[in-house]
Amino acid sequence: MLKLFYALNTCALASHIALEEAQAQYEAVRLDFSKSDQNKPEYLAINPKARVPALITDRGILTETPAILAYIAQSYPQSGLAPIADTYAFARAQAFNSYLCSTVHVAHAHGRRGKRWADDPVAISDMQRKVPETVGACFELIEREMLAGPWVMGGEYSICDPYLFTIARWLEGDTVDIARFPKVQDHRNRMAERATVKKVLAVQLAQNY
């Protein structure tokens, strides 16, 4: 059985939702970042990056959200979570998820984890001040060019949707007004009403350490 490691308010939410959408048999294990669970030897043996998500499969361990989402879609083709039979369409989905991972998430992280990139308090403060601008610019591009609607890829729900939902939930914390992005706001609202999303959020909040 699959085992997903996650923490609250992290990008691992996307993989958790995708597993539920795929109706996979899995176990979800919650880490407490406030207790540095991600740095404990037993977790570092699973993911030496000290990050979430990590997914234990019968063939080994996967990390990085785009890779895990693609694995779920390809492992459960009956779920229709990605256009895996269409090479170009699947590459487009991968391109969107890669943008969220490599650019949008990094822009967000500058506000909370500036010490990854700088030691100078002034430099860290500068990064934090730029977050509303840089995250806002990312979502302007998503709104204008990337979100086809009603779902990311158009008419079909895919692995891109839980990932966008996850990162869009951080906008207010980044001091970015989601009302600037009507399509993103509509997407986030519709995602929040999905039974799978409600279930996963309830499980994450209720699960004991």
pLDDT given for residue 118 in this prediction: 77
pLDDT for the residue numbered 117 = 87
| DSSP state letters, the chain | -EEEEEETTSTHHHHHHHHHHTT--EEEEEE-GGGTGGGSHHHHTT-TT--S-EEEETTEEEESHHHHHHHHHHH-GGG--S-TT-HHHHHHHHHHHHHIIIIIHHHHHTTT-GGGT---HHHHHHHHHHHHHHHHHHHHHIIIII--SSBTTBSS--THHHHHHHHHTTTGGGT--GGG-HHHHHHHHHHHTSHHHHHHHHHHHH---
In CATH terms, are 2-80+196-206 and 87-194 the same topology? Answer: no
The predicted pLDDT at position 207 comes to 65
Per-residue confidence of the chain (209 residues) as pLDDT tens digits?
A: 999 999 999 999 999 999 999 999 999 999 999 999 999 999 999 999 999 999 999 999 999 999 999 999 999 999 999 999 999 999 999 999 999 999 999 999 997 887 888 788 888 888 889 999 999 999 999 999 999 989 999 999 999 999 999 999 999 999 999 999 999 999 999 999 999 999 999 999 886 54
Q: CATH topology for 2-80+196-206?
A: Glutaredoxin (3.40.30)
Residue 114: the pLDDT is 73
pTM of the full structure: 0.95
Class of domain 87-194: mainly alpha
Output the pLDDT for position 208.
55
pLDDT of residue 141: 98
Domain ranges of the chain: 2-80+196-206, 87-194
